[in-house]
Amino acid sequence: MARENQARELSRARRATRKVLVQALYQLQLAEQPWQDIYQQYVADPDSAGSDPEYLKELLMYIATEREALNVTLARYSDILPERLDPIEHGILWIALYELQQRLDVPFRVAISEAVELTKRFGATDGHKFVNGVLDRAASELRPGERGQ
């Protein structure tokens, strides 16, 4: 029972962290502030309560420093060039691609589902369909064993 509660808490914290990350990555793209400043701002924000500050730092640091590499990967699965993407969908795709590539502890279905839900909440009207398609193609290549291929 304790293990199940721990797993639920981790899931909730990561969900909250992804929500904060969408906002932080939007700011990163538009304001071009150092990721460290953005991190400090969000960690201090009471609206970030419930998020995992270490997971936030890990993802924000990686995405901020590896944007170009993530965009190269993203371009393989998207019919829209990364630089033409809406900043919200772009940030959400970065989060999910990071999790698909670097966090094998996050099941591919969770990475995709969380990205779709974030896009429904923050993105354009049908943006979630685009995000789902891109991530489905990415998961086929990045996690073939997990998908049973």
Per-residue confidence (pLDDT) for residue 129, from 0 to 100? 96
User: What pLDDT sits at residue 147?
Assistant: 58
Which pTM value belongs to this model?
A: 0.93
- CATH tag, 2-142: 1.10.940.10
Whether residue 149 is predicted with pLDDT greater than 70 in this model: the reply is no
Alpha-carbon distance of 17 to 33, in angstroms, equals 19
Query: Is 63 within 8 Å of 18 (Cβ atoms)?
Result: no
Nearest to 118 by CA among 102, 103, 130: 130
Q: Calculate mean pLDDT across residues 102-130.
A: 94
